[in-house]
Amino acid sequence: MDPLTLAIALTVPIILSVVQFITAVLPAIAAGILNWVVTAPISFIKEPIVTIGWAITRDFANLFLVLALVVIGLATILRLESYGMKKALPMFIIVALLINFTPVICGVILDGANIIMNAFKDRALSTSQLFIQSNALRSLAQTEFGIGFWEKLWNFLTGGFLQLYLETVSKALVGILFNVFAFLILLAYALVFILRYVVIWVLVILSPLAWVGLIFPATKSWWETWFKQFIQWAIIGIPLFFFLYLAGISLGTPICKIGGGALEVGAWDWLSGPVLCSILSFLVPLFLLIIGLFLAMQAGDIGAKAIISGAKKGGKIAGKWAGKQIERRGFGPAAGKTAAGLTKAAAWAGRLETRGVSPLIAKPLRWMTRGAEMAAVPPLTEYAAKKRRVSLPEGWKQMSIPEKERYIEGLAMGTDKTVLASEMKGEGTFQKTSDSFKNRILWEVKKLAGDPRYLKETGDIFDAFPNKITKDTKLDLELAGVPEIQKVKKRQEIQDKIKNIVQEYGISEDQAAGVLHAKELKPRDIEKVAKDSLKSLPFQLATQKMSSSHLQALRNSFDEETVHMVLEQGKGLNTIDQADFKKISKENPRLARWAFETPAGREMLNWSTRFQKP
Average pLDDT over residues 486-513: 90
Q: In the chain, where are the structural domains located?
A: 3-257+268-304, 325-388, 390-464, 547-614
Give the pLDDT score at 92: 81
Name the pLDDT band for 128 (thresholds 50, 70, 90).
Answer: low
Model confidence, pTM? 0.47
Give the pLDDT score at 77: 67
The answer to which of 31-45, 59-73, 360-374 has the lowest mean pLDDT is: 360-374
Spell 370-401 as b/e; 16+ CB within 10 A means b: bebbebbbebbbebbeebbebeeeeeeeebee
Q: Which residues contact 371 (CB under 8 A, 6 or more apart)?
A: 70, 73
User: Each residue of 42-65: pLDDT tens digit?
Assistant: 888 888 888 899 999 998 888 888
User: Each residue of 430-464: pLDDT tens digit?
Assistant: 878 888 888 888 888 888 887 777 788 888 888 88
Name the pLDDT band for 140 (thresholds 50, 70, 90).
Answer: very low
Q: Is the pLDDT of residue 299 over 70?
A: no
Q: Which residues contact 236 (CB under 8 A, 6 or more apart)?
A: 192, 196, 296, 297, 299, 300
Closest CA to 446 of 487, 491, 480, 489: 480
> Which contacts qualify for 30-34: CB closer than 8 Å, 24 or more apart?
30/182, 30/183, 30/184, 30/185, 30/186, 30/187, 30/189, 30/190, 31/125, 31/127, 31/128, 31/131, 31/186, 32/128, 33/186, 33/187, 33/190, 34/125, 34/186, 34/187, 34/189, 34/190, 34/193
User: Each residue of 520-579: pLDDT tens digit?
Assistant: 888 888 888 888 888 889 988 888 888 889 888 888 888 888 888 888 888 888 888 888
3-state secondary structure of 147: coil
